[in-house]
Chain A
Amino acid sequence: MQAGKKNKPIHYRYFLNMGPQHPSTHGVLRVVIGMYGEYVLSIEPIIGYGHRMHEKMGESRPWQAFLPNTARMDYACALPHQHAYVRAIERMTGVAVPERAEYLRVITTELNRVVSHLLWLGAFLLDLGAFTPILYTFDDREHILDILENVTGSRLTHCYFRAGGVVQDVDDSFEPAVRACIKRMRSRFEMYDKLVTKNIIFIKRTKDIGIIDRDMAVRYGVTGPVLRGSGIAHDIRKAEPYSVYPELDFDVPTGQNGDCYDRYLVRVEEMRQSLRIIEQALERMPGGDVRTKTPKKLNLPPGDVTSTTEGARGDVTYYVAGDGTETPYRLKVRSPCFSNLSLLEELCEDMLLADLIATMGSLDLVIPEVDR
């Protein structure tokens, strides 16, 4: 794109401190940008402002106590984290999960994914300067959040999954509410198409900006919609199927040249796919109980396990090492935003400041998940 100014003498460079309080860092992230005029020469993201040492909490209390923590890392899309942690525990202890519980987990996770993508869509457009769409996306989100609040008890920090199933069954108002919500959501997509997808200013602000190729994705471990925007159809729900995803039919949207515009298209298409998944899951959901009886004191056998799910931002992997007691010996959380953010230094060299904001917005960062 524009010729960079890297060969300019150093004393022309001045530093712009973006954050930790800044409208478009989506959380407490500080980015020290070396600027030459409007061009970005060097970027250094400084993280750690929202660090709470979740992994130490996991190691110092029984494994059940970590369940609320899983929802406090990526609060925009908490259920995939909880699903990964609960599957890790089930893998270690060999607890079986009833079919109905697995379907409930898939339905609530996909609802959560749609909510998270809507939040991202509003915030991304706010970064580009459009003030109105965020209110429309929040309006849509409210409908789904009301359903999730009724099922899981809270709007964002859900604590709904347990080892061996889910906390409680859904009441009979759940299914009609979800169907109505899907119908309403589908009618909203072509409004977003008219307002955003075809808008010439939006296209000019996001086309061919922040292009991520396969080699950079491999070197930085980029996963999720950011990776799929570059044309690589890697989705854990398809690559390493878990829960009841093999029985559900959905496809993995990918972009062509990996710029902000493709990432936008991928996420909007993913919302449509999630609605398809929810519809199929609602039809195939059997009756039966939603939780297997687990002994009061469930010890984690020695040895370690990793379990992976597809979060809204990418590959969420939990590594749990047990030592025979009820407390995990080591608990590692691999958060997708950590790797997606680490490529900012290499990706955003020689960019304009406005493009840096657009690229950071398109990476869909949730900073508490980066700091853990």
Chain B
Amino acid sequence: MMTLLQQLPPECIRIVIAAAVVIGFVFANATVMGYLERKLAGRFQRRLGPMEVGFHGLLQMPVDGLKLIGKQLTEPNNVGGIVFYLSPLIAMTPVALPFLVIPFSPHLQVIDLDVGLLFIIAMISFNTIAVFLGGWSSNNNYSMLGAMRSVAQNISYEIPILLSVLSIVLITNSFSLKTIVLEQSRFWFVLVQPVAFLIFFIAGIAETNRAPFDLPEAESELTAGFHTEYSGIAFSMFMIAEYTYIFINCALATVLFFGGWHGIPLPFGEYSSCIWFLMKTYLLMFVIVWCRWTFPRVRFDQLMNFSWKYLIPFSMVNLLLTAIVVKL
């Protein structure tokens, strides 16, 4: 068995190990995020959140995961056939790809693509296809409405993200995430580009269908939106995908605006940069959870107006100003 390993090129082993770590991280992040969200939701509402399973409910999310795996996959009649089962997979699989380029710390990065940023933004838009196919194929008026809404929402919020990210690229004129983070060693880009950060963050919340823009799965209007008919593991795949997209959004925001792994050196030696990175990301996730438990839901046409009338004009103006300033 060892001889077989020696024959394989080292690069291939490195990729296999990295893939395994990334998949493990995706599931770990989903459980941690889910636990954090339910605990914070409880505390925001002056209650305790999950307390029963494990110490202070720590085992609640893994146990939920097992329960969901054990649940029966109900299939309503004349449902869209293979597409009905394909959409959770489409939601789940591309979720791990952006992790290849996210620089957790100077050397903890799978590959440093020089088009890393473009690659991530391309991967993020996979979610829309999955949500649309899921909603459309479950043969239920509510999910069809949810699917339509999610397509319109993601398209109209993709543009502000691109424009705000472009203003960063103008400064660093490189798409590679590592160089962007290295550029921020002296000062973080959020000080230079606060408006771009705000636009990116708000559009990020809308992109991942999170409240106050959670129209595709509006509980009080569309019962459960696009994943009404999904149960068991299919439903949990959509949940894991959603939590991971939130993590990617926050990680991207940290890399672009909050200076990746830069921070006061901590006593953990060379892991301190990775810890800084995770701390910043989870702080941004706290803000996203905070938004969810404070605001009512926006109506559908207001959502569109907000993007086309406010975010896009502001991001264009911001882009223009950065261009002028940078070219001076």
Q: Do chains A and B touch in the complex (CB under 8 A)?
A: yes
Size bracket of the B interface: 20 to 34
- Do residues B221 and A201 form an inter-chain contact, with CB atoms below 8 A? no
Q: How far is the CB of B297 from chain A (nearest CB, A)?
A: 3
- Do residues A202 and B301 form an inter-chain contact, with CB atoms below 8 A? no
- Most chain B beta carbons < 10 A, residue from A131, A136, A353, A355: A131
CB within 8 A of A136: which of B46, B214, B219, B300? Answer: B46
B142 an interface residue at 8 Å Cβ cutoff?
Answer: yes
A126 an interface residue at 8 Å Cβ cutoff?
Answer: yes
A204 touching B293 in the complex, CB below 8 Å, given contacts A14-B141, A16-B141: no
A24 touching B221 in the complex, CB below 8 Å, given contacts A129-B296, A199-B295, A353-B145: yes
A residues near B294, Cβ cutoff 8 Å: 130, 132, 195
CB within 8 A of A357: which of B46, B142, B220? Answer: B220
Complex alpha-carbon distance, A132 and B296, angstroms: 9
B298 an interface residue at 8 Å Cβ cutoff?
Answer: yes
B299 an interface residue at 8 Å Cβ cutoff?
Answer: yes
A residues near B219, Cβ cutoff 8 Å: 23, 129
B residues near A127, Cβ cutoff 8 Å: 220
Q: How far is the CB of B216 from chain A (nearest CB, A)?
A: 13
- Do residues B296 and A353 form an inter-chain contact, with CB atoms below 8 A? no
B130-153 vs A, Cβ < 8 Å mask (1 yes, 0 no) = 000000000001100100000000
Q: How far is the CB of A137 from chain B (nearest CB, A)?
A: 11
- Most chain A beta carbons < 10 A, residue from B46, B141, B296, B297: B296
A residues near B221, Cβ cutoff 8 Å: 24, 353-354, 357
CB within 8 A of A132: which of B45, B212, B298, B300? Answer: B45
- Do residues A205 and B299 form an inter-chain contact, with CB atoms below 8 A? yes
B residues near A2, Cβ cutoff 8 Å: 301
- Do residues B295 and A16 form an inter-chain contact, with CB atoms below 8 A? no
- Do residues A23 and B223 form an inter-chain contact, with CB atoms below 8 A? yes
A135 an interface residue at 8 Å Cβ cutoff?
Answer: yes
- Do residues A128 and B223 form an inter-chain contact, with CB atoms below 8 A? no
A residues near B301, Cβ cutoff 8 Å: 2, 352
A residues near B25, Cβ cutoff 8 Å: none
B211 an interface residue at 8 Å Cβ cutoff?
Answer: yes
B218 an interface residue at 8 Å Cβ cutoff?
Answer: yes
Chain B residues 205 to 235 lying within 8 A of chain A, measured CB to CB, are 211-212, 214, 218-221, 223
A27-54 vs B, Cβ < 8 Å mask (1 yes, 0 no) = 0000000010010000000000000000
Complex alpha-carbon distance, A357 and B214, angstroms: 16
Nearest chain B residue, comparing its CB with the CB of A139: B46
A236 an interface residue at 8 Å Cβ cutoff?
Answer: no
- Do residues B44 and A132 form an inter-chain contact, with CB atoms below 8 A? yes
Nearest chain A residue, comparing its CB with the CB of B294: A132
Complex alpha-carbon distance, A2 and B302, angstroms: 12
Q: How far is the CB of A272 from chain B (nearest CB, A)?
A: 23
B residues near A139, Cβ cutoff 8 Å: 46
- Most chain B beta carbons < 10 A, residue from A22, A35, A129, A201: A129
- Do residues A204 and B298 form an inter-chain contact, with CB atoms below 8 A? yes
Nearest chain B residue, comparing its CB with the CB of A127: B220
A149-187 vs B, Cβ < 8 Å mask (1 yes, 0 no) = 000000000000000000000000000000000000000
CB within 8 A of A205: which of B41, B45, B296? Answer: B296
Q: How far is the CB of B253 from chain A (nearest CB, A)?
A: 22
A201 touching B145 in the complex, CB below 8 Å, given contacts A126-B220, A135-B46, A354-B221: no
Q: How far is the CB of A320 from chain B (nearest CB, A)?
A: 39
Q: How far is the CB of A202 from chain B (nearest CB, A)?
A: 5
Complex alpha-carbon distance, A212 and B220, angstroms: 23
A125 an interface residue at 8 Å Cβ cutoff?
Answer: yes
B47 an interface residue at 8 Å Cβ cutoff?
Answer: yes
Nearest chain A residue, comparing its CB with the CB of B222: A353
Complex alpha-carbon distance, A17 and B145, angstroms: 13
B250-277 vs A, Cβ < 8 Å mask (1 yes, 0 no) = 0000000000000000000000000000
Q: How far is the CB of A207 from chain B (nearest CB, A)?
A: 11
- Do residues A129 and B46 form an inter-chain contact, with CB atoms below 8 A? no
- Do residues B300 and A354 form an inter-chain contact, with CB atoms below 8 A? yes
- Do residues B299 and A22 form an inter-chain contact, with CB atoms below 8 A? no
Nearest chain B residue, comparing its CB with the CB of A138: B45
Chain A residues 307 to 360 lying within 8 A of chain B, measured CB to CB, are 352-355, 357
Nearest chain B residue, comparing its CB with the CB of A37: B148
- Do residues A129 and B212 form an inter-chain contact, with CB atoms below 8 A? yes
Provide a sorted-by-A list of 20 A–B residue pairs whose CB atoms are within 8 angstroms: A16-B141, A22-B223, A23-B220, A24-B220, A35-B141, A38-B300, A129-B212, A131-B41, A131-B45, A132-B44, A132-B294, A135-B45, A136-B46, A195-B294, A201-B212, A201-B298, A204-B298, A204-B302, A205-B299, A354-B221
- The 10 A-B residue pairs whose C-beta atoms are closest, nearest first, are A129-B297, A135-B45, A128-B296, A130-B296, A24-B220, A129-B296, A354-B299, A127-B220, A16-B141, A132-B293
9 more A-B residue pairs beyond the given contacts A139-B46, A201-B298, A354-B299, with a C-beta to C-beta distance below 8 A: A15-B141, A24-B221, A126-B220, A128-B297, A135-B46, A135-B47, A353-B145, A354-B221, A357-B221
